[in-house]
Amino acid sequence: MTALAAAAGVGALVLLLAWLFPDALDREDNLMNLVFYVALLAVVGSGMLATFRQRWGEALKLAVIWILIALVLIAGYAMRHDLERAGHAVLAAVMPGYAIETAPGEAMLAMGEDGHFHARVDVDGTTLNMLVDTGASAVVLSAEDARRIGIDPGRLDFGIPVSTANGRAFAAALRLRRMELGPIALDDVRAMVMPEGALDGSLLGMSFLSRLRSHAFEGDRMILRQ
């Protein structure tokens, strides 16, 4: 009787899971895992029923608690993608410019309140806040950010003419050893440094973006893939 009750309970749980996730058993490894866990549940369930053989009221309460826990876990698994997106939105709101890893080698940036995409980029070991600018041919550092990563603008040769929002200026060319944006990392990135006062903030331009497998804007999100 005990074994029969345990088997009935396990069978009901399996039917519920199969109804909620009809494609879950398409793979052989998933089927083997199901067989293992069903057997484990049967053994554990039989032991619990044997323990509470003379205390059916207490056993029923315990069973209800475990069923509720199982349903909460199942619901959480079924809604995992929605929960993940909600978590990403919270992170983006709390930490503007934070690159969220959505897959290996893939990062997501959320649009800022100003309608632009900002990124917290690790440049040669120092985190810089940069504006994503697909119109900039290269990564462009302000003089202030250049100093933050150990570059003395006073020792650079500002001989490259460039057009900025403030008019014509001259920039200095250099190479950055390493840039990291979330799970994305690039070495030896072409960049330019602007003279003092010519640029308010650094730009994440095409010398970084063009080396990625892809970068795309999807509404209020930007997806970057290496």
| Residue-wise pLDDT tens digits, 91-101 | 666 677 889 88
Q: Is the pLDDT of residue 84 over 70?
A: no
- 164 pLDDT band, cuts 50/70/90, is confident
| pLDDT averaged over every residue in the chain | 81
Contacts of 97 (CB under 8 A, 6+ apart): 109, 112, 118, 119, 120, 129, 130
AA identity, residue 85: R
> Stretch 148-161: mean pLDDT, rounded?
94
64-71 long-range contacts (CB < 8 A, ≥24 apart) are 70/13
Q: Is the pLDDT of residue 25 over 90?
A: no
58 backbone dihedrals φ, ψ, rounded to 5°? -65, -40
Token pair belonging to 220: 């209020």
Task: Calculate the CA 137 to chain-centre distance.
Answer: 27
Report which of residues 9 and 148 the model is more confident about. 148
Tell me which of 131-135, 156-160, 162-166, 188-192 is least confident: 162-166
Percent of the chain at pLDDT above 90?
47
Percent of the chain at pLDDT above 70?
64
Q: Count of CB atoms within 10 A of residue 124's CB?
A: 15
Contacts of 110 (CB under 8 A, 6+ apart): 88, 89, 92, 93, 96, 100, 117, 220, 221
> Stretch 66-89: mean pLDDT, rounded?
68
Q: Is 112 helix (H, G, I), strand (E, B) or coil?
A: coil
Domains in the chain, start-ordered, CATH in brackets?
Answer: 2-78 (no CATH), 96-225 (2.40.70.10)
What pLDDT does 73 receive?
73
106, 185 Cβ separation under 8 angstroms = no
What pLDDT does 178 receive?
98
What pLDDT does 125 receive?
93
What pLDDT does 2 receive?
47
Q: Count of CB atoms within 10 A of residue 132's CB?
A: 24
Tell me which of 26-30, 105-109, 111-115, 161-165 is least confident: 26-30
Task: Calculate the CA 220 to chain-centre distance.
Answer: 15
Q: CA-CA distance, 134 to 132, in Å (whole number)?
A: 7
Report which of residues 163 and 118 the model is more confident about. 118
- 45 pLDDT band, cuts 50/70/90, is low
Q: Is 168 helix (H, G, I), strand (E, B) or coil?
A: strand
